[in-house]
Amino acid sequence: MRKQIAAANWKMNLTLPQAEQLVKELLATSYQLDENRRVVLGVPFPYLTAIGSRLDQTKYFDVAAQNCADKKSGAFTGETSVEMLKSIQVPYVIIGHSERREYFNETHAMLATKVDLALEYGLQPIFCCGEPLAIREAGTQNSFVETQLKESLFHLSAEQVQGFIIAYEPIWAIGTGKTASSNQAQEMHAHIRKVITGQYGKEVSDSVSILYGGSVKASNASELFEKPDVDGGLVGGASLVATEFSAIINALKKP
């Protein structure tokens, strides 16, 4: 069974004491986690070490950086390299989130470089893709997402894509209160898997975890996660509330 993942994206929220309290509350809850059901907390850069150390004694919780630079090192004030993340034992990095694409003009080529750097240094990318409202309304979302995958990921080898993590985020459903229906989510996840199958074959495609990332909440997580091609979620606002995110974790698909 491919990995089922509850990934949190805290974005630019919480002070360190608030973050530590949230983690304390999360870890006080009972879960049925194992090698195939994991929790990843995408925390702000200043908290990676502090939160990472709190998770060291847990087996199935990890931290993720919310971004990384597309350069190895150099005069890039304010940027954080993958090598830096590796040096503080960060195992995951979110790449290509819609907010990075929209507000910071990240291109497919730039994201391909970030993916390469993450893999070079042994970090697991959580690669985001998804369409804005205008594309969804035009009915061209499948080709739009396919282009994102092809131009940022399809230079990779089958070995590199084995066990990869992709997060599908319908941009029109992020922070708007709107959510793609479970059937809409399944439809796009199935399309993504079909595209990967076409490039790398079914064995590789079946190993790829595809998370849904559009206003996942405790109230809709079970319905979304029960779909055959939905392997968990990349959760924004609901991940800032311990009771909400705990319920989402417990909604992960079981063998």
121, 82 in Cβ contact below 8 A?
yes
- 30 burial type by CB count under 10 A (0-12 exposed, 13-18 middle, 19+ buried): exposed
Q: How far apart are CA 92 and CA 39, in angstroms?
A: 11
Residue 97 designated active-site: yes
The torsion of the CA quartet 44, 50, 52, 54, rounded to 10 degrees, works out to -130
List the catalytic residue out of 106, 169, 189, 244: 169
Q: How far apart are CA 90 and CA 80, in angstroms?
A: 12
Range list of H helices, 39-161: 48-55, 82-87, 98-103, 108-120, 133-138, 141-153, 158-161
Give percent helix, percent strand, percent coil of the chain, each to the nearest 5: 45, 15, 40
Q: How far is CA 207 from CA 96, 161, 164, 203, in A?
A: 21, 9, 7, 7
232, 40 in Cβ contact below 8 A?
no
**40 pairs with which residues across the strands?**
7, 62
Catalytic residues: 97, 169
